[in-house]
Structure 1
Amino acid sequence: MIYLALSILSSSLIFVVFKLFTRYRVETLAAIVVNYAVACLVGLFFYKGDVSLSEIPGKSWFLGTVALGLLFIIVFNLMAATAQKAGVSVASVATKMSLVVPVLFGVIVYREALGALQVLGIVLALAAVYFTAVKKSSINFQRISLLLPLSVFLGSGIIDTSIKYIQEFHIKENDYPVFSATVFAAAAVTGILFILFKSLKNPVKIGYRNVLGGIALGVPNYFSIYFLLRALQHDSLNSASVFTINNVAIVMFSTLLGIVIFKEHISSKNWIGIGLAVISILLIALF
């Protein structure tokens, strides 16, 4: 459970750093690319074995890391587009409700058994994500295109499911740091290519603010994946429970951080969501 708690903490800190980007005038795209490079270096630093770059492409998980790195960049941009065109609440709900994908994958592929109370906990978790994310200004779902939120939902779910599959069948425990580093390296390369393409029309400057922002984002970003892999390794919780608790607790904890650090207003619906999140976590973890 300690690894799961550390993954939740790391992931929640990512949202705090994103929030600080606006305050300190950090250009998000540039900082994101720096963040992936930093996360890669952190992974290599914590790898205890000898790193041979020539051997990495021969690893059974290498192609998976390349695909994940590409997905990281694509899903991030889809999240940004969804937030801009459909609203932040829609983007947040679409991202966190994606926990349904790895949960169903675990039940169907790994034959993971879920008790009645765990199923109830997962249903309450979905309700908790919605109520925690919903804001006062409601969005008319019938008048906007569902393509962007659906893409975010599927993309985020595929990322979580892929991480679980690769962890289950292809990664040895001592390879976790270098695997995570390779994922972030692939994302960094993809991001650099994206910036170069974008710079043909609008040059993107890598200033010191963006570098510092990328460093602040890269460290928790790396550990959010590393600790999630560690949590999935243990038999005390199945993958359905791990992903559900992880996603719901991130929404709940990041909301509380927003209250404490940024003095954000929390509506009665948000408090209902936080309460449902606590209940769902207890049902899934204890039963």
Structure 2
Amino acid sequence: MLNLALSILFSTLIFVVFKLYSIYKVETLYAIITNYVVASSVGFFFYKGTIQIETLPEKPWFWGTLVLGVLFIVVFNLMAATSQKVGVSAASVATKMSLVIPVLAGVLLYNELLSGFQILGIVLALAAVYFASVKETSIALLKSSLILPLLVFLGSGIIDASIKFIQAIHISESEFPLFSATVFASAAFTGILFIGFKSIRTPLRVNFKNILGGIVLGILNYFSIYFILKALQHPSLNSAAVFTINNVAIVLFSTLLGIILFKERLSTKNWGGIVLAVISIALVALF
């Protein structure tokens, strides 16, 4: 449970860093790409074995990391587009409700069993994520506006399910740092290509704030992935429980930190979501 708690902590701090980006005018795209370079470097630093770059393609998980790296960049850009065109709440809800996909994958692919209380907890978790994220000011959604949140939902869920699949089939615990580093290196390479093409039309603007923001985010990002991999090794928690507790607890604690650190105000629906989050975590974890 300590590994799961640490993953939740680092993931929650990522949201705090994103909030600070808007306060200190950090350019998110450049900070994100710096973050992937830093996260990859941290992984290689903590790997205790001998690193031979030329032998990495021989690892059974290598090609999966390339796909995950591309997904990280694509889903990030989809989240940004959803936030701008549909709303931040829609992006947040779509991201966290994607826990349905790894939960279903655990049941269908790994024959994981869920108790009646756990199923109830997962249903309450979905409601908790929605109510904790929704804002009082709503917008009328066109059918075309639902495409972006749907893509975020699918992309985030596929990332979580893929991490579970690769962890369950291919990775020894000693290779967690190397696996994480390779995923982030793939994301960094994809991001560099992206801004390389973008710079053809728009000149690059790199400054100290972007780099510092990327360094802090990269350290947090690495440990959030590392500890979720460790949590998935827990003998008494299946992946459905791990992803449900992880996602709902992140929503819960990021909301509470928003109140404490940034004086954010919550509606009645938001408080109801927090109560449901606590109940859903208890049901999934204890039963």
TM above 0.5, yes or no, is yes
Is residue 45 of structure 2 the alignment partner of residue 45 of structure 1?
Answer: yes
**Do the aligned partners of 1:95 and 1:153 also contact (CA within 8 Å) in 2?**
yes
Confirm whether residue 280 of structure 1 aligns to residue 280 of structure 2: yes
Partner of 1:263: 263
Q: CA deviation at 1:176?
A: 0.1
Deviations 1:46-102 (A, max 9, x none): 111111111111101000000000000000000000011111111111000000000
Structure 2 distance, partners of 1:46, 1:266, is 40
Residue 183 (structure 2) aligns with: 183
Partner of 1:218: 218
Change in Cα spacing, 1:65 to 1:143, as seen in structure 2 (3 Å) is closer
**C-alpha distance in 2 between matches for 1:224 and 1:139:** 33
| Matched residue, 2:8 | 8
Gaps of 5+ in 1: none
- Tell me how far apart the structure 1 counterparts of residues 148 and 246 of structure 2 sit (CA, whole Å): 24
Secondary structure of 1:233 counterpart = coil
Change (3 A) 1:143 1:151: closer
Amino acid at match of 2:166: I
Letter in 2 for 1:169: I
Residues 180-212 of structure 1: per-residue CA shift (max 9 Å, x gap): 000000000000000011111111222111110
Contact in 2 for aligned 1:241/1:284 (Cα 8 Å):
yes
CA deviation after TM superposition for structure 1 residue 10, in Å: 0.4
Cα distance between partner residues in 1 of 2:144 and 2:109? 34
The percentage of aligned residue pairs carrying the same residue is 68
Query: Cα offset for 1:141?
Result: 3.3
Q: 2:167: which partner in 1?
A: 167
Map 1:98-247; keep pairs closer than 5 Å: 98-142=98-142, 145-247=145-247
Which residue of the partner structure matches residue 79 of structure 1? Answer: 79
> Which amino acid counterpart does residue 82 of structure 1 have in structure 2?
T
Task: Report the 3-state secondary structure (helix = DSSP H, G, I; strand = E; otherwise coil) of the residue aligned with 1:55.
Answer: helix
5+ residue gaps, structure 2 = none
1:101-146 deviation line (CA, Å, top 9, x unaligned) = 0000111111111111100000000000000000111132356521
Instruction: Give the 3-state SS of the residue equivalent to 2:53 in structure 1.
Output: coil
Amino acid at match of 1:52: Q
Stretch moving more, 149-158 or 18-27? 18-27
TM-score, structure 1 length as denominator?
Answer: 0.98
Q: Which amino acid aligns with 2:75?
A: V
- Structure 1 runs (4+) deviating above 4 angstroms are none
TM-score in terms of structure 2 length:
0.98
Aligned residues: 287
Q: Distance in 1 between matches of 2:133 and 2:160?
A: 20
Residue pair 1:86, 1:144 contacting (<8 A) in 2 also: no
CA contact (8 A) 1:124 1:277 kept: yes
Q: Work out the CA distance in 1 between the residues paired with 2:136 and 2:203.
A: 37
**What amino acid is aligned across from residue 30 of structure 2 in structure 1?**
A
Residue 84 to residue 26, structure 1, CA distance change in 2 (3 Å): same
SS of the residue 2:168 aligns to:
helix
